[in-house]
Amino acid sequence: MGFWYFLMLIIGGMIVSVALIKHSKSNAAKWSKVFVGAGMMTVALFMFQDGSAEIVDSLLQSMNIRL
């Protein structure tokens, strides 16, 4: 699973860097790409931490989502 989190981290970083480097006509599009990329990077970094699977499992169970 760590490979997929690493891939999500790299893709998120690429989205952020492209959004900041390329000139966009709309500031809303630029900042939405930055927030999506930063969100992907945040989730990936969180999932790399020890115990994150148990935290996600308890959150899903509290919302009555059984996987």
3-state secondary structure of 51: coil
- Angle CA(47)–CA(7)–CA(1) in degrees, nearest 5? 50
21 contacts: CB under 8 Å, gap ≥ 6: none
Helix runs in 1-67, H state only:
2-21, 27-48, 52-62
Model pLDDT, residue 23: 84
Q: Block means of pLDDT (10 residues each) for the chain, length 67 residues? A: 91 96 88 96 94 91 85
Predicted TM-score of the model (pTM): 0.81
